[in-house]
Amino acid sequence: MSLLPLEGFVVGVTADRRWSEQAELLERRGANVLHAPTISTEYLGCDDALREATEVVISRPPDYLVATTGIGVRAWFEAAQAWGLAERLSGALAGTRVVARGPKAAAAIQVAGMQVWATPSSERLDEVVALLVAEQPSGRIVAFQHYGERDDGAVRAIAAGGAALVDVPVYRYRQPEDDTRTVGLIDAVCHRQVDAVTFTSAPSVRNLLATARQHGRVSDLLSAFNERDVIVACVGPVCSEAARDSGVGRPVVPGRGRLGLLVRALTEALRARRRDLRCGPASVVVQGRAIAVDGTRVDVPPRERAVLEVLLRRRGAVVSKAAILRSLGSEAAGTHALETTVARLRRRLGTAGPAIRAVRGRGYCFVADEPTRRADRPAEVASDLGR
């Protein structure tokens, strides 16, 4: 029985909305998920500002509507329904040219009974702004549905063209009141107990770094991301730009901003770290914290797994006992404890155990053939397609 594509890997999930859907996609591929939301979404259905904006839109139908997010459009119409204003809102927007930032916003607009006038291919807000500016909106009314935080730059750019802006604040992002889980995720990343962290919004990236800064861990966190190969996976270009602006050097990002594609891109990035080895007659797969010998998963305790990782990194070379102990941070444990650990590891590896060879007076060496080249790609779950 072969390992699932993400078996042996631990993935931190920072989303608050749809996090369970993301976790399910990851777990179906075998990943262990650590959920630590770095944002809290507060809906403004009871907020006077949203009702006031809705009444302004109804009384003065806008020429253009900027729909930035699907959840924002849906929440706006749900709030209008609760106030008994949904039909009047739909009527006011019937002749409005709607610019949807991406497919999710476009789909929500269509469900609300309206037509989408334009959608930029990049799903970036600056292209939405460019579309409106090209329309020369002087003297026209533009309603702008904000997405969690007010984009002052976009608003100023549209207003500079002479348009009258109506801000529609549907929800806003906050940092969680209790940062216990966020701090726990930061600690896990810094100690390499997590292989990857996913982000589905720019604020979720910034809030994680802000929390790390508050606790004096930002340098350690960025070091883990940039130097110790903990993967940062972002849902789209805006999110990945926030990661780079925050100091993350190489975020993984899919070609299009979809949750299923984010999981798929992360799967490919982590699967590239899988090692397929031939140890004498035995085949060994090392994937994250998972090890399979001849197709059967072998449970290896953390200390033995750490010893194996040290030897794998220098496969074919003799590694001294002192060097192994230093890598484990346990020099005081002594060589006898290390010898006991290696003996147990050999037994757990079964037919692959002899690949760990003792070199008298020097240390240990892991002997294995070069990784085999796999032509097959990891199977995708059919239900994920198109998400």
Average pLDDT of the chain to the nearest whole number: 89
Q: Which residues pair with 146 in a beta bridge?
A: 169
pLDDT recorded at residue 332: 53
379/138: higher pLDDT: 138
192/96: higher pLDDT: 96
Q: What is the 3-state secondary structure (H, E, C) of the chain?
A: CCCCCCCCCEEEECCCCCHHHHHHHHHHCCCEEEECCCCEEEECCCCHHHHHHHHHHHHCCCCEEEECCHHHHHHHHHHHHHHCCHHHHHHHCCCCEEEECCHHHHHHHHHCCCCEEECCCCCCHHHHHHHHHHCCCCCCEEEEEEEEECCHHHHHHHHHCCCEEEEEEEEEEECCCCCHHHHHHHHHHHCCCCCEEEECCHHHHHHHHHHHHHCCCHHHHHHHHHCCCCEEEECCHHHHHHHHHCCCCCCECCCCCCHHHHHHHHHHHHHCCCEEEEECCEEEEEECCEEEECCEEECCCHHHHHHHHHHHHCCCCCEEHHHHHHHHCCHHHCHHHHHHHHHHHHHHHHHHHHHEEEECCCEEEECCCCCCCCCCCCCCCHHHCCC
- The answer, yes or no, to whether residue 252 has pLDDT greater than 90, is yes
Model confidence over 55-94: pLDDT tens digits? 999 999 999 999 998 889 999 999 999 999 999 999 999 9
- The answer, yes or no, to whether residue 10 has pLDDT greater than 80, is yes
| Alpha-carbon gap, residue 38 to 148, rounded angstroms | 13
233/332: higher pLDDT: 233
pLDDT recorded at residue 192: 87
Distances (CA, A) of 176 to 43, 93, 94: 14, 35, 38
Averaged pLDDT for residues 293-316:
91
Q: Which of 33-42, 234-243, 262-271 has the highest mean pLDDT?
A: 262-271
Residue 105's identity, in one-letter code, is: A
Sorting pLDDT into bands at 50, 70 and 90, what band is 137?
A: confident
| Alpha-carbon gap, residue 197 to 199, rounded angstroms | 7
Q: What is the dihedral of CA 24, 28, 34, 37, to 10 degrees?
A: -20
Kindly state the percentage of the chain with pLDDT values over 90. Answer: 63
pLDDT recorded at residue 386: 36
Tokens 């070379």 belong to: 317
Closest CA to 242 of 301, 173, 309, 288: 173
Sorting pLDDT into bands at 50, 70 and 90, what band is 280?
A: confident
Q: What structural domains does the chain harbor?
A: 10-39+177-273 (3.40.50.10090), 42-174 (3.40.50.10090), 275-366 (1.10.10.10)
